[in-house]
């Protein structure tokens, strides 16, 4: 009987598509059922295959088991109370969970649920839905535990969790925390949810364990184990049990629950193992433990004689007394095994030990008596249980019924059935199965079939047991020689079809034909239906032909099933055949055939037939057309849909349906322009029905293509024609106006929809409005929107977060924090998104220093800072350029176990590159590669900029090679950076070639790139290329700023081409760029460079005429022009004139005179120039030249103090000029202390030269020739001391950076090379980078210690001022006057040679040097001739070898 109860389920055969329902209401053809010739044969194969029926026994509820008692339904899902469900009125009973779970298991003839909990539970009081007039206050733990509404709290959560969609999460409900819960309440939530959905119950359990405020407890662990056990999820239960803490897991109730999991699967050994483990850990088993052990033992083996008594004895030997659950478990096992003797012994033992039987006991004993053929004993027990006050339930009656039916007592069975009905119990599936079986055994097949028909007519669903009984009846009929009728066979075939048993149905059909019974329309229809649904196409089509041959014609419903099956197999030929048969044999109209094809999902054929139907004058069916168009749309065949609509418009005329469908189809096809054009025509002619789908498609398409203005026009038209928007249309309208930046309008639409009763379940609508308010800085209106939502219902967390982020976008931290505090107080609980909003508010407001304080506060609240929050902070500090904080956050993130992402690496590397932290960048890239990430183009571009910025061009090229090796395609940034690199490396020609390559790839260089190229060509005096690029930019219409014209002006200045400079000034004015004083200064300097100081003075006079307030800059330009022309007296006159005009000389004039003095040939000329400065009020230079230098330290210090804050590098230019003067006239000790004073005053960098452990180097860029020579001598002196002392240790190579720039037409690189070459130093030009001199450290140390040029490197002042300047400027090289002739001779005849060779030749007399050079030239020529002869011989040998091979 238990077996019979376990099998139910009816497969209903019905049309699968929604269109079939429409057909039923209009068609004259009736669906037929397998139960009669007038019911439906159609079934849903998908339901049969994918959704197998679940066993449900409705009589498990007390209100159903005892209907005559009028019991109310329980609040708890699938209530498990024995006699009556829990009352909603206040009660004093405390729920006993061991008893409740035990009773549930007892009703399934299984063992007790091993959850032994006897905690006191709060009782029921008021419902959760009753509104309170007072403000809700949070209860403390004691008040919450004593509250009596625990059932409603639990039910509230249970209902909401079970109502979640599959894609939603339990956290969406629990995070809101709308109701306060105790840990015990959560146990009930897990239990009640688990009765319907174990996955959701497990999700609740995992959510709780992730909360910082939740402490794991034994009761919860036992509850989830019980839920998983019932769901047969043993592996998950074992995993949870294993990872549980000992303090929680080592309790009786947890062990009992885990034993119950094993017991359900009959794993007695595992249960025994757990029982032993309990004892080892000092946890004493209780009666529930042994009941579970008994159940496991009974499930693992069959009920052998004596086993029940043996198990009872084992329980007693453990010192425990068996209870009613123990006895019921044993008796139920005896009942399943029909072991009457053993069941009786157990029952007698129960009575002997004064354990009163309950209803479950009586049901089991009645069942065992019935199974063993003793119906009278069963009836006696039935009367006994009534006399003892128990109410029989449906199980009791069915057990008694089975006892008499087994013995064939028909009258008694009828009597029990009548009594059962009088008591309010309807006959269920178990009842009918028992009666059918009884009649079948007696050979009364007609009665058995009649009962089967009655069963279906009364709405009872035959199950597998029913069909088995029916098949047995058929077999008994044949065995008795009774020939079944067509109706009998048809009923059985229908039964098999409903059960999805194709093979049995087919065998029955074949048996019917072999018996000579000709199938009728129903039999053919049912068999065709089931064959098509099981994809037996060949058999189905053969049977279809047989049906036609028998003059049976399928109805439209059958054709739909057949067409659907053939469409799944893509059997076009047979579909065509069916269409032909429908037309010719069944005389169906084209419109009917089209509808059948649509419902059979043969949309292509339906479209063809639809064309024929319209051509034949049939009316257009709206549903058929929309179904066909929907098929075209979903498969992306929009053009075919449009063609069909154009055909219909031509034949059926222009009507609203076609016009609307055409607009919708054009929107689906993405042809928005055509859709808008058709829409305009439709509006103009008024031929549309103003449907929502029409406007939804059009407005949605406008939204997708971001044509907001057009969408706004369509919405205006819609409202003009009074079209009532649908919910979806309101949503689209709100999104459009939010995107347009009109959140107030969107807000009005929402209010309008809500006044009409349209409520938006999707919170994204409100989120969009709030975000739009944030963009337009109307956060107060956004907050009022949220306030309105709060008055109607609870506000979703996403809405709160959107409000926080709206304030954050405007930097309003205090407002965002107030919202956050509201969430903390009233719920739902803030999330990481809320925290990120607070962080963003501080970041937007520029309050980065408060981030750490906020993080500390959040951590004190129990929040864990997420990876996204860390990245947000890191990105903020990176944008601020704070490398220290970024590295600190990055280190903390890695320590917390968060692994960097590609985005994070990109941020870090970009920041470090901007900070020129080369080693950190290279380490980060290496770490990134080790982590499995491949650098992308943006990272490589950052590194290109880094190496270009520090002028490490070798590594720049290596990075570009890596880009190519990685298969990445360089972008504009890559090419621009490489071109800048070539420009800085004085390789402008290669940069220009790369620019042409860039244009060929349709990439446009930046203006800054053009500027770099022009500037590089200008520095190399490549006038033509620079002019060509400049002209190209102007011809392309670029708007050039003043810097471009200044670069070209400097180029003309350096090339002494003042005429072009004048023309450029005119071009500059024509382009709308007004010249400034700096521009006129460049023009004046160009005149001076070309030897036209008068023209420079003319420009100054023109400036005076304009009435401008002139500084000393243009005056210094004129004076410098006369100085360069050698007219010192004129320059002095201009100085006097400037003073007479009221312009006081300043640092520019001083620097100009000092620089001219440093280049003068005679000391008297220099003194004359410096005296002019003295007369002008500045006597410091002449005093430095003629007096003792050290006595003037304080005055120089004061002068630098005044010059340092001035613009135009006043202090730097002054010191550079002064150093050139002092070095030129051999006051080198004075030059040394001025140099050191400049370093102290930060005029020069502190690291202009360095001597640290394994770090020797110097960078003399921005220094003048004289100051660089002073610095070089001091550096060589320090390196000599380090070489002699052995400390600090030198690196492998020593680098001297000279740069490539010229300072006042003096090349620092050439000057230092001439100085070092004269000394025979080991410094050589770098092979990969210009502007660098490199020496091997070992060679340098040996030269410093052994070279005669390094015996005395101390800087001293000459005893008296020399008559002539000791230095001379030759081709941009500021060198010693005595070496000039030798330098010209050597470089002119030999070119660039090594320093040692140059030093050796320079020391020789003129005659000896001439002979040495001549010998060197002849030797080189002989060597070249010899090499030519060797090469010629080698070529001849190769030719001979080639001839021999041929």
DSSP symbols for 67-80: GGGTPPPPSSTT--
pLDDT at 513: 77
3-state class of 1376 per DSSP? strand
DSSP class of 1333 = E
Residue 487 predicted with pLDDT over 70: no
pLDDT at 79: 33
Place of tokens 């049990």: 241
Note the pLDDT tens digit of each residue in 385-436: 878 778 888 788 888 878 888 777 888 888 888 888 777 777 777 777 777 7
Rounded to whole angstroms, the Cα distance separating 1179 from 1218 reads: 13
> Tokens in use for 260?
């119950």
**Range in 357-366, 587-596, 1147-1156 the model is least confident about:** 587-596
Range of 650-664, 972-986, 1431-1445 with top mean pLDDT: 972-986
Alpha-carbon torsion (426, 429, 430, 435), positive or negative: positive
Alpha-carbon torsion (248, 250, 251, 254), positive or negative: positive
Q: Where residue 118 falls among pLDDT bands split at 50, 70, 90?
A: very low
Q: Where residue 14 falls among pLDDT bands split at 50, 70, 90?
A: very low
Mean pLDDT of 878-891: 85
Tell me the pairing of strands 1255-1259 and 1302-1303: unpaired
The 3-class SS string of 1245-1262 reads: CCCCEEEECCEEEEECCC
Arithmetic mean of pLDDT over the chain = 78
Residue 1231 predicted with pLDDT over 90: yes
- Higher-pLDDT residue of 1224, 730: 1224
Residue 451 burial (CB < 10 Å; 0-12/13-18/19+)? buried
Q: Give the containing element (helix H, strand E) for 510.
A: helix 502-514
Mean pLDDT of 806-835: 88
CA 53: distance to chain centroid? 40
pLDDT at 65: 45
Mean pLDDT of 587-611: 76
Taken as a whole, the chain contains a residue count of 1446
Residue 319 CB partners (closer than 8 Å, separation 6+): none
pLDDT at 755: 85
Q: Residue 735 region, left (φ>0) first, then alpha (ψ -120 to 50), else beta? A: alpha
pLDDT at 12: 28
pLDDT at 1171: 93
**Range in 90-104, 226-240, 563-577 the model is least confident about:** 90-104
Q: Residue 653 region, left (φ>0) first, then alpha (ψ -120 to 50), else beta? A: left
Nearest to 154 by CA among 115, 117, 120, 127: 127
CA 912: distance to chain centroid? 25
Give pairs for 764-770: CB < 8 Å, separation 24+: 764/798, 765/731, 765/734, 765/735, 766/796, 766/799, 766/802, 767/798, 767/799, 767/802, 768/734, 768/735, 768/738, 769/734, 769/738, 769/743, 770/799, 770/802, 770/803, 770/806
Q: Where residue 690 falls among pLDDT bands split at 50, 70, 90?
A: low
**472-486 burial by CB neighbour count: b if 16+ within 10 A, else e?**
bbbebbeeeeeebeb
Percentages (nearest 5) of helix, strand, coil residues in the chain: 65, 5, 30
Residue 1133 predicted with pLDDT over 60: yes
Rounded to whole angstroms, the Cα distance separating 224 from 205 reads: 7
Residue 1411 CB partners (closer than 8 Å, separation 6+): none
Rounded to whole angstroms, the Cα distance separating 735 from 755 reads: 19
Percent of the chain with pLDDT over 70: 81
Nearest to 88 by CA among 97, 101, 99, 79: 79
Mean pLDDT of 35-52: 35
Q: Where residue 1341 falls among pLDDT bands split at 50, 70, 90?
A: very high
What distances in angstroms separate CA 643 from CA 606, 647, 669, 1262, one per listed residue? 14, 6, 12, 77
Residue 1011 CB partners (closer than 8 Å, separation 6+): 1043, 1044, 1047
Range of 199-208, 787-796, 1078-1087, 1154-1163 with top mean pLDDT: 1154-1163
Percent of the chain with pLDDT over 90: 16
Residue 601 predicted with pLDDT over 60: yes
Residue 1172 predicted with pLDDT over 90: yes
Whether the full predicted model's pTM is greater than 0.75, yes or no, is no
3-state class of 924 per DSSP? helix
Mean pLDDT of 240-263: 79
Q: Give the containing element (helix H, strand E) for 958.
A: helix 953-965
Range of 564-568, 759-763, 1225-1229 with top mean pLDDT: 1225-1229
CB 125 within 8 A of CB 151: no
Mean pLDDT of 603-631: 69
Cβ neighbour number for residue 488 with a 10 Å cutoff = 21
Rounded to whole angstroms, the Cα distance separating 1252 from 1256 reads: 6
**Range in 176-180, 888-892, 898-902, 1275-1279 the model is least confident about:** 176-180
pLDDT at 67: 53
pLDDT at 471: 59
The DSSP string of 1214-1278 is HHHHHHHHHHHTTBHHHHHHHHHHHHHTTSS-TTSEEEETTEEEEE-TT--HHHHHHHHHHHHHH
Q: Where residue 1237 falls among pLDDT bands split at 50, 70, 90?
A: very high
Tell me the pairing of strands 1367-1370 and 1373-1376: antiparallel
Rg over CA atoms, the chain: 51
What are the two backbone dihedrals, phi and then psi, of residue 674, each rounded to the nearest 5 degrees? -65, -35
Q: Where residue 21 falls among pLDDT bands split at 50, 70, 90?
A: very low
pLDDT at 1378: 87
pLDDT at 107: 33
Residue 127 predicted with pLDDT over 90: no
pLDDT at 479: 54
pLDDT at 1150: 93
Q: Give the containing element (helix H, strand E) for 1061.
A: helix 1058-1070
Mean pLDDT of 204-219: 80
Residue 762 predicted with pLDDT over 60: yes
Q: Where residue 1413 falls among pLDDT bands split at 50, 70, 90?
A: confident
Q: Where residue 1159 falls among pLDDT bands split at 50, 70, 90?
A: very high
């Amino acid at each position: 009987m238990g077996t019979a109860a376990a099998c139910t389920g009816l497969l209903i055969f019905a049309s699968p598509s929604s269109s079939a329902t429409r057909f039923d209401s209009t068609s004259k053809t009736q669906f037929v059922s397998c139960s009669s010739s007038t019911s439906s044969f159609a079934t849903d194969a998908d339901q049969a295959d994918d959704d197998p029926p679940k066993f449900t026994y409705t009589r498990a509820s007390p209100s159903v088991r005892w209907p005559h008692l009028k019991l109310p339904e329980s609040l708890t899902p699938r209530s498990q109370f024995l006699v009556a469900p829990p009352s909603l009125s206040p009660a004093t009973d405390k729920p006993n969970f061991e008893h409740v779970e035990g009773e549930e298991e007892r009703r399934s003839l299984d063992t007790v649920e091993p959850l032994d909990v006897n905690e006191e539970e709060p009782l029921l009081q008021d419902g959760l839905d009753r509104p309170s007039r007072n403000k809700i206050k949070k209860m403390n733990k004691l008040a919450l535990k004593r509250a009596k509404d625990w059932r409603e709290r639990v039910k509230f959560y249970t209902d909401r969790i079970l109502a979640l969609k599959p894609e939603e999460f339990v956290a969406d409900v629990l995070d809101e925390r709308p109701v306060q819960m105790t840990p015990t309440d959560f146990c009930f939530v897990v239990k009640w949810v688990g009765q319907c959905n174990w996955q959701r119950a497990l999700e609740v359990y995992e959510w709780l364990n992730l909360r910082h405020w939740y402490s794991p407890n034994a009761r919860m662990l036992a509850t989830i184990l019980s839920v998983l056990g019932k769901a047969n999820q043993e592996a998950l239960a074992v995993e949870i049990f294993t990872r549980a803490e000992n303090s929680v897991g080592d309790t009786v109730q947890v062990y009992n629950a885990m034993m119950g999991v094993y017991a359900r699967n009959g794993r007695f050994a595992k249960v025994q193992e757990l029982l032993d483990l309990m004892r080892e850990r000092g946890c004493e088993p209780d009666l529930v433990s042994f009941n579970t052990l008994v159940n496991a033992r009974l499930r693992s083996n069959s009920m052998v004689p004596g086993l029940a008594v043996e198990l009872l004895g084992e329980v007693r030997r453990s010192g425990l007394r068996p209870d009613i659950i123990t006895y019921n478990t044993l008796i139920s096992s005896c009942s399943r095994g029909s072991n009457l003797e053993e069941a009786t012994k157990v029952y007698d033992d129960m009575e002997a030990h004064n354990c009163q039987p309950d209803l479950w006991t009586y049901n089991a004993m009645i069942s065992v008596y019935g199974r063993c053929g003793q119906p009278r004993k069963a009836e006696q027990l039935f009367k006994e249980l009534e006399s003892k006050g128990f109410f029989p339930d449906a199980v009791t009656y069915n057990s008694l019924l089975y006892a008499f039916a087994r013995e064939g007592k028909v009258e008694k069975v009828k009597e029990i059935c009548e009594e059962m009905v009088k008591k309010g119990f309807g006959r269920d599936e178990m009842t009918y199965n028992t009666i059918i079986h009884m009649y079948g055994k007696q050979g009364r097949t007609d009665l058995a079939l009649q009962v089967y028909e009655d069963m279906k007519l009364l709405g009872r669903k035959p199950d597998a047991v029913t069909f088995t009984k029916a098949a047995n009846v058929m077999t008994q009929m044949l065995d008795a020689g009774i020939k079944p009728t067509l109706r009998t066979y048809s009923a059985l075939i229908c039964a098999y079809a409903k059960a999805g048993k194709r093979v049995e149905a087919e065998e029955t059909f074949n048996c019917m034909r072999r018996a000579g019974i000709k199938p009728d329309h129903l039999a053919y229809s049912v068999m065709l239906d089931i064959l098509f649904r099981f994809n037996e196409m060949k058999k189905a089509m053969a049977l279809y032909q047989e049906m036609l041959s028998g003059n049976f014609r399928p109805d439209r419903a059958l054709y739909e099933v057949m067409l659907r099956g053939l469409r799944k197999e893509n059997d076009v030929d047979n579909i065509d055949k069916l269409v032909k048969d429908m037309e010719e044999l069944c005389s169906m109209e084209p419109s009917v055939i089209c509808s059948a094809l649509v419902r059979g999902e043969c949309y292509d054929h339906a479209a063809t037939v639809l064309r024929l139907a319209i051509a034949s004058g049939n009316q257009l069916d709206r549903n058929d057309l929309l179904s066909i168009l929907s098929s075209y749309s979903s498969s992306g065949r929009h053009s075919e849909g449009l063609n069909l609509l154009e055909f219909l418009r031509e034949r059926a005329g222009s009507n609203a349906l076609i016009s609307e469908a055409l607009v919708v189809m054009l929107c689906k096809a993405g042809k928005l322009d055509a859709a808008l054009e058709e829409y305009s025509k439709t509006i103009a002619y008024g031929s549309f029905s103003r449907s929502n789908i029409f406007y939804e498609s059009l407005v949605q398409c406008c939204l997708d293509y971001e044509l907001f203005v057009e969408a706004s026009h369509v919405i205006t038209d819609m409202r003009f024609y009074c079209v009532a928007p649908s919910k979806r249309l309101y949503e689209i309208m709100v999104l459009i106006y939010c995107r347009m930046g009109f959140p107030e309008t969107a807000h009005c639409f929402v209010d309008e929809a809500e006044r009409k009763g349209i409520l938006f379940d999707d919170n994204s609508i409100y989120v969009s409005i709030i975000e739009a308010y944030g963009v337009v800085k109307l956060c107060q209106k956004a907050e009022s929107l949220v306030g309105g939502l709060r008055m109607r219902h609870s506000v979703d967390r996403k809405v709160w977060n959107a409000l926080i982020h709206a304030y954050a976008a405007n930097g309003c931290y205090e407002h965002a924090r107030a919202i956050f505090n509201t969430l903390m107080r009233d719920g739902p609980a803030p999330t990481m998104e809320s925290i990120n909003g607070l962080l963003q508010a501080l970041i937007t407001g520029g309050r980065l220093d408060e981030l750490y304080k906020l993080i500390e506060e959040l951590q004190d609240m129990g929040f864990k800072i997420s990876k996204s929050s860390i990245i947000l902070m890191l990105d903020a500090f990176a944008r601020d350029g704070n490398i220290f904080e970024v590295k600190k956050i990055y280190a903390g993130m890695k320590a917390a176990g968060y692994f960097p992402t590609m985005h994070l690496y990109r941020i870090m590397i970009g920041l470090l590159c901007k900070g020129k932290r080369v080693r950190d960048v290279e380490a980060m890239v290496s770490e990134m590669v080790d982590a499995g990430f491949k650098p992308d183009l943006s990272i490589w571009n950052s590194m290109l900029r880094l190496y270009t910025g520090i002028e490490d061009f070798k590594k720049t090229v290596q990075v570009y090679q890596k880009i190519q090796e990685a298969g990445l395609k360089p972008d504009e940034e890559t090419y621009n950076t490489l071109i800048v690199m070539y420009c800085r490396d004085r390789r402008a020609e290669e940069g220009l070639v790369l620019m042409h390559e860039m244009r060929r790839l349709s990439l446009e260089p930046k203006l800054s790139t053009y500027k770099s190229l022009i500037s590089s060509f200008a520095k190399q005096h490549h006038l033509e290329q620079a002019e060509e690029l400049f002209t190209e930019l102007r011809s392309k219409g670029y708007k050039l700023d003043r810097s471009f014209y200044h670069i070209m002006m400097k180029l003309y200045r350096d090339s002494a081409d003042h005429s072009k400079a004048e023309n450029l000034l005119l071009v500059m004015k024509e382009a709308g760029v007004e010249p400034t004083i700096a521009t006129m200064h460049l023009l004046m300097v160009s005149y001076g460079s070309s030897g036209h100081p008068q023209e420079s003075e003319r420009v100054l006079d023109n400036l005076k005429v304009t009435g401008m307030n002139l500084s000393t800059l243009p005056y210094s330009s004129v004076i410098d022009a006369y100085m360069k022309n050698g007219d010192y007296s004129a320059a002095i006159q201009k100085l006097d004139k400037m003073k007479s005009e009221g312009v006081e000389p300043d640092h520019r004039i001083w620097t100009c005179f000092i620089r001219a003095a440093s280049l003068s040939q005679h000391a008297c000329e220099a003194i004359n120039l410096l005296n002019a400065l003295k007369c002008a009020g500045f006597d410091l230079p002449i005093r430095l030249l003629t007096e003792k230098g050290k006595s003037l330290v304080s005055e120089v210090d004061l002068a630098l103090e005044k010059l340092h804050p001035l613009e135009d590098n006043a202090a730097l230019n002054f010191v550079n000029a002064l150093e050139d003067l002092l070095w030129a006239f051999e006051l080198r000790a004075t030059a040394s202390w001025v140099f050191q004073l400049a370093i102290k005053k930060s005029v020069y960098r502190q690291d202009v030269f360095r001597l640290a452990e394994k770090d020797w180097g110097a960078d003399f860029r921005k220094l003048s020739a004289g100051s660089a020579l002073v610095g070089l001598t001091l550096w060589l002196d320090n390196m000599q001391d380090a070489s002699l002392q052995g400390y600090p240790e030198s690196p492998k190579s020593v680098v001297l950076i000279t740069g490539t720039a010229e300072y006042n037409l003096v090349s620092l690189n050439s000057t230092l090379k001439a100085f070092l070459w004269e000394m025979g130093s080991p410094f050589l030009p770098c092979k990969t980078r210009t502007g660098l001199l490199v020496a091997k450290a070992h060679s340098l140390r040996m030269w410093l210690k052994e070279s005669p040029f390094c015996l005395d490197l101390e800087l001293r002042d000459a005893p008296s001022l020399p008559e002539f300047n000791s230095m001379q400027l030759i081709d941009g090289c500021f060198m010693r006057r005595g070496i000039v002739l030798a330098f010209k001779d050597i470089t002119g005849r030999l070119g660039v040679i090594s320093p040692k060779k140059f030093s050796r030749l320079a020391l020789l007399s003129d005659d000896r040097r001439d002979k040495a050079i001549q010998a060197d030239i002849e030797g080189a020529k002989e060597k070249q001739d010899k090499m030519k002869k060797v090469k010629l011989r080698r070529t001849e040998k190769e030719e001979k070898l080639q001839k021999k091979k041929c």
